[in-house]
Each structure stands twice: as structure tokens, then as C-alpha cells.
Amino acid sequence: MIEVTAVPDNFAFDPERTALVVIDMQRDFIEPGGFGAALGNDVTPLAAIIPAVQQLLDIARQAGLLVIHTRESHLPDLSDCPPAKRAGGPPGMQIGDVGPMGRILVRGEPGNQILEAVAPLAGEWVIDKPGKGMFYATGLHERLQQQGIDSLIFAGVTTEVCVQTSMREANDRGYRCLLIDEATESYFPEFKQATLAMITAQGGIVGRVARLQQLQASLG
């Protein structure tokens, strides 16, 4: 077992039973000129984590961890998008509408792609998820069980939406969860900090948080 110094206490994992999950590093959320920016968000803090995510991917690949990438995406006919979710966006900027980088959150559109800088390598899993959480309607839990995975290391965007939802879903399914601080970000800095506090409160009620350097030191 590998031990990582983390908050609120150490995270122990077996690399053979651990996956790195990189949540929704998609053009529409991170690039200037994408959907997130068109909503009025400052994407600069999200783009700033790209080097940390790259470093984390290098560490995970070298350690032989299973690497999983997710994309928040819907079928072109929106049959997997509940009306209540679609209604959550402003008129003209809802899921399926034509946004600055193609149809918003629709599979196959340019804005829906993962950034080239953190693109999946051959053999890595890419999970298209119609929800905020990565387990909803994806079959991912069954695939992870078949691989014997019991621990998940998380990165990606946004911290309080798809990352936190996925961590909570994972925790409920029995996975031990670690979030890497510098490899996740929100459009709202206070939401990121609140999420880290919520995850680690009460003895790590959802999971643990570590710095990239701490993970690197444990694997080195």
C-alpha cells in the first residue's frame, strides 16, 4: 500500500486497485470563447490548472494507474437530457442550443471535446456522462468492479459541481476518494474552498484532499 499525506488524514491506496479520474476537462468549460465563458464566467482559473493536471496524468501513467476521463455530454436528440436539467440554463444557452463551439454539451461537438493538452491516450477510458455525477447512467461502477478498483483519485472541473457530485457518488458506492488540490478548480474560488472543506469535514466524510507534491512524494 502507498500512503499519501492528506487532509484530514493519510490516504492509503494500492496502485493496482486505484484509478485516476479526470472530470470534464472540456473545451466548452475551459477555453475562452466556449460555453462557460459565454455564460459570463472567468475561465482563467480553470485554464491555470492544466499544467497540474498534465503532471498528475504523468504521475498516474508512470505508476500504472487506470486513467479515466469524463465528459459531460448528451445524445444529439437530447433523449438523455431531462427537461428540468435543460431548463437550468438561460434561454438560447441551454443544453442542445447552438453555442460558440457547437451545440452545447452535445456529444461530438467541438466544444464537447477534451482539451488537447490533457487528451486521453489509447487504452484510457473515456466516459460520456449525461449527469453531473460520473456514475449516473454510465455503467461505470460495474466496469470498475470488474477491474477490482476500490480507490479513486480525482481531478478536473468544476470542483463543486461535477467533481464533488462524482466524489459523493463514489463514496456512496464504497470507493475511497482523494482529490488533488491544484488539479481542480471552480469559476468561483470560494466554492472550491467550501467544497474542499465539505469533503474533508468530520474525519473525511466524503474523502481526502492532498497536494500534488504529496502524491508525487509517496509514489517516488
Residues that bind ligand C5J (CB under 6 A): 24, 29, 72, 157-158, 161-162
Least gap, CB of 174 to ligand C5J (angstroms):
23
Q: How many CA atoms lie within 13 A of 204 on its CB side?
A: 16
- Of 130 and 204, nearer to ligand C5J (C-beta) is 130
Least separation in angstroms between CB 161 and ligand C5J: 3
Cβ distance to ligand C5J smaller for residue 158 or 218? 158
**Closer CB to ligand C5J, 24 or 60, in the complex:** 24
- Structure-derived torsion over alpha carbons of residues 65, 127, 189, 50, reported in degrees to the nearest 10: 60
DSSP secondary structure letters along 115-141: PGGGPPPTT-EEEEESSSSSSTTT-HH
Q: Residue holding cell 475561465?
A: 43
CA 163, chain centre distance (Å): 5
* Active site positions, annotated: 24, 129, 162
Instruction: Give me the least distance between CB of 51 and ligand C5J, in Å please.
Output: 20
Compute CA distances 160 → 69, 83, 102, 126, 193, whole Å: 18, 22, 25, 21, 9
Q: Which is nearer to ligand C5J, 137 or 217 (CB)?
A: 137
Q: Smallest distance, Å, CB 108 to ligand C5J?
A: 17
Amino acid occupying residue 22: V
Smaller CB distance to ligand C5J: residue 37 or 161? Answer: 161
Identify whether the C-beta of residue 35 lies closer than 8 Å to the C-beta of residue 28. yes
Q: What is the 8-class DSSP label of residue 64?
A: T
- For residues 33 and 44, the answer to whether their CB atoms sit within 8 Å is no
CB of 87 to ligand C5J, least distance (A): 14
Alpha carbon distance 181, 166 (integer Å): 16
